[in-house]
Structure formats: structure tokens, C-alpha cells
Amino acid sequence: MKRISLLSIALIVGVCAVLSAGEALAVRTSVTSSVVAPKGPYPGTVAANDLDVVPFTLDNTNGNVWVGTGRDLLVIQNPTAGAITVTLTSSADDKNRKADITTYSLGVGEFMSFWYGNLVGWDQGGGQVYLDCSATGLKGLIFRIP
């Protein structure tokens, strides 16, 4: 009969831990390049393309993240042919309360918006804000209001 060494057991347990922590290993897709600061009300000379914004595509596999300021307006559009759900992940506040907005259904052609006017209850650490969706195709913009 073969004996299993303590090192073999530790290796097996370690591999199992790594495999079961799949979500913890996923890296959220950053949307920092899609955070825009609107111009106005007195922008001076406005050249071609100065007021353009470029939406990001939400990542339904890894989720999205950006560093919020407490002055961010999230806008999401569903240009697909079916309803898709969106989840805004909260964090515990000073009273240990959480208030995730889970599986918010966004129908075909609809837009949704959410004002992160304060990061209390939304900051996942270091100002990071989490955003998830159930399928591909959603487009988002984050407007940083001065």
C-alpha cells in the first residue's frame, strides 16, 4: 500500500483551493479610459470632436471596475435584441449595511443611469466601483461631474 506524504496532501489541497477560487482570480476590466469629464457651461472655442464621448462595452465575463470620485454618473444602454441584467455591487457602510442593486433588467433599447454622488456604500477599496452584467452587448459611459 502506498503512503501519501504530507507534502502530497498539501499540494492537493493547494490545487483545490486555487481551482475553487476562480472568481477571485478574475481581473475586472478597467474602464478608466471611458470616464469623461463633460465640457461646459462656458467651454470657449469648441473644435470638431471636442464634445464626443466613446462608450465602453461592459464585460460580462470579468465585470468592470473604475476608480470613482463620488461625482460619477453611470449611464448604460442596451442596444441588443434582448433584456440584459446589470448588478451594481455595494460595500458595507459604517453600520455594516449593504444594498446591492442586483439583476436590474435593462430591456431592448433602454437606458439606465445611476449617480454615484458619494462612494460610501459603493467603494470596494481604493475608490474602486464594481459593475457586472449578465450578457454581452451593453454600452456604458461614466461622466465625471466637476
Instruction: Summarize pLDDT for 24-62 with one digit per residue, the tens.
Output: 558 999 998 789 989 899 999 999 999 999 999 999 999
pLDDT, position 26: 80
Written as one string, the DSSP assignment of the chain is -PPPPHHHHHHHHHHHHHHHTHHHHPPPEE-GGGEE----SS--S--TTTT---PEEP-TTT-EEEE--S-EEEEEE--SSS-EEEEEE----TT-----EEEEEE-TT-EEEEEES--TTT--STTEEEEEESSS--EEEEEE--
**41 domain-assigned:** yes
Mean pLDDT of 86-91: 97
Instruction: Evaluate if residue 16 carries a pLDDT over 60.
Output: no
Q: In degrees to the nearest 10, what's the CA dihedral of 115, 121, 127, 128?
A: -80
CATH number, domain containing residue 119: 2.60.120
Q: Residues 39, 6: contact at Cβ < 8 Å?
A: no
**13 domain-assigned:** no
- Give per-residue pLDDT as tens, 102-128: 999 999 999 999 999 999 999 999 999
Number of folded domains in the chain?
1
**17 domain-assigned:** no
**19 domain-assigned:** no
**23 domain-assigned:** no
**11 domain-assigned:** no
**95 domain-assigned:** yes
Instruction: Evaluate if residue 22 carries a pLDDT over 80.
Output: no
pLDDT, position 146: 86
Parent domain of 123: 28-144
**22 domain-assigned:** no
